[in-house]
C-alpha cells in the first residue's frame, strides 16, 4: 500500500449496513481519484467480497483468524480473504483482540497468501513487540481515545513518536500508522510530522453527515 495512507475502518456502524458499504467505498474511491491520496477501506466482513470486486482502491478485512481452510465454522481464514479479492487485513483491533501467538501465526499465514497485514496495538511496548513479526504495518491506537473528538496526535503525541522508534528498532521495514480521534486534516498532518506513514480512522468518515467532505478535509494537507 502506497504511503502516506488513509485507512478507513467501517467497523459495524449501521451507516454501512448492506449496500451502504459499497456506497461509502465508492465515495472513498472518488476522493482518492480526485486527490491522488492513497486511501484503503475496511468494510464489514459480510460485504468484503462485494466491495472488493467493485472498487479499485485497496479493500481490507477488519479481522482474520489463524485458521486453515476446512473445519473452521465461523472463523475467517487468510485464504478466504485472499479469495474475496481483498488485499489484506486489520489484525488485533482493540475491539477484536488476538493472543500474541495468534498475531504471529496470522501475520505469517497472511503473508503466504500475499495479503498485507496491519496489526493494531494500544501502546509503545506492544507496537515494538508485534513489529518483530514483520507485519506490513503497525497501527497504534490508545483505546480510550477511539471514537472520541480528541486526536491521538493532540492527546498523546509521544505515543506516536515513540511507537515509530520502537517499531523501526524491531524491524525497519515495518511502517507505523496511528489512529483514535483523527477527524481533521490537521490531525493527519500532525501524524505525518510525528513520523507515522498514515492514519487508521473510522467515525470521522463513517458517522459524518457528509463523508465525502469529511474525507476531503482529512486528506487536504497530505
Ligand atoms: O480502527 C480505527 C479506529 O479504532 C479509530 O476510530 O472513530 O476514533 O477514528 P475513530
Find the domain containing 99 and state its range.
5-219
Task: List the one residue out of 12, 17, 148, 159 whose CA is nearest residue 93.
Answer: 12
Quote the percentage of the chain above a pLDDT of 90. Answer: 100
pLDDT of residue 152: 98
pLDDT of residue 76: 97
141 is an active site residue: yes
CA dihedral 28, 163, 192, 90 (to 10 degrees): -10
Q: Give the CATH number for residue 138.
A: 3.20.20.70
pLDDT of residue 57: 98
Task: List the one residue out of 194, 60, 130 whose CA is nearest residue 186.
Answer: 194
Catalytic residue among 93, 95, 144, 197: 93
Ligand 1 site residues (CB inside 6 A) read 9, 93, 141, 146-147, 179-182, 200-204
Q: Copy the grid coordinates of residue 12.
A: 459495524
Q: Copy the grid coordinates of residue 187.
A: 490531525
pLDDT of residue 185: 98
Given ligand 1 and candidates 203, 207, 208, 215, which is best to mutate, with the most ligand atoms within 8 Å of its CB?
203
Paired residues of 119 in beta bridges: 91, 138
Query: pTM of the full predicted structure?
Result: 0.98
User: Measured between alpha carbons, how far is 31 from 33 in angstroms, rounded to an integer?
Assistant: 5
Average pLDDT of the residues in 76-102: 97
DSSP H helices, 137-184, are 152-155, 157-170
User: Measured between alpha carbons, how far is 173 from 134 in angstroms, rounded to an integer?
Assistant: 8
Å from CA of 179 to ligand 1 middle: 6
The residue written with cell numbers 511507537 in the block is 163
Describe the chain by its helix, strand, coil percentages, rounded to 5.
45, 15, 40
- The 10s digit of each residue's pLDDT in 13-49 is 999 999 999 999 999 999 999 999 999 999 999 999 9
Q: Copy the grid coordinates of residue 166.
A: 520502537
Q: Phi first, then psi: what are they for 120, rounded to 5°?
A: -85, 145
CB 115 within 8 A of CB 142: no
- The 10s digit of each residue's pLDDT in 163-201 is 999 999 999 999 999 999 999 999 999 999 999 999 999
Residues 6+ apart with CB under 8 A from 81: 48, 61, 64, 88, 89, 110, 113, 115
Q: Which atom from ligand 1 is nearest to the alpha carbon of 180?
A: 8
Number of domains in the chain: 1
User: Measured between alpha carbons, how far is 186 from 106 in angstroms, rounded to an integer?
Assistant: 34
50 is an active site residue: no
- The 10s digit of each residue's pLDDT in 112-139 is 999 999 999 999 999 999 999 999 999 9
Q: Which atom from ligand 1 is nearest to the alpha carbon of 204?
A: 9
Amino acid at each position: 500500500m502506497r504511503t502516506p495512507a488513509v485507512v478507513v475502518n467501517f467497523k459495524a456502524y449501521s451507516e454501512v449496513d448492506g449496500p451502504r458499504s459499497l456506497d461509502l467505498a465508492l465515495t472513498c474511491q472518488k476522493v482518492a481519484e480526485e486527490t491522488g491520496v492513497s486511501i484503503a477501506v475496511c468494510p464489514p466482513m459480510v460485504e468484503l467480497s462485494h466491495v472488493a470486486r467493485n472498487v479499485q482502491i485497496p479493500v481490507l478485512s477488519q479481522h482474520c483468524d489463524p485458521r486453515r481452510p476446512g473445519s473452521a465454522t465461523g472463523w475467517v481464514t487468510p485464504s478466504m480473504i485472499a479469495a474475496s479479492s481483498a488485499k489484506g487485513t486489520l489484525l488485533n483491533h482493540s475491539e477484536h483482540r488476538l493472543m500474541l501467538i495468534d498475531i504471529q501465526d496470522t501475520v505469517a499465514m497472511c503473508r503466504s497468501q500475499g495479503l498485507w497485514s496491519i496489526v493494531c496495538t494500544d501502546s509503545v511496548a506492544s507496537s515494538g513487540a508485534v513489529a518483530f513479526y514483520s507485519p506490513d504495518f503497525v497501527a497504534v491506537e490508545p483505546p480510550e481515545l477511539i471514537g472520541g473528538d480528541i486526536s491521538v496526535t493532540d492527546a498523546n503525541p509521544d505515543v506516536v513518536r515513540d511507537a515509530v522508534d520502537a517499531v523501526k528498532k524491531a524491524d525497519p521495514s515495518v511502517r507505523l500508522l496511528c489512529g483514535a480521534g483523527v477527524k481533521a486534516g490537521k490531525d493527519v498532518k500532525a501524524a505525518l510530522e510525528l513520523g507515522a506513514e498514515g492514519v487508521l480512522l473510522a467515525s470521522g468518515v463513517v458517522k459524518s453527515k457528509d463523508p465525502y467532505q469529511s474525507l476531503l478535509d482529512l486528506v487536504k494537507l497530505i
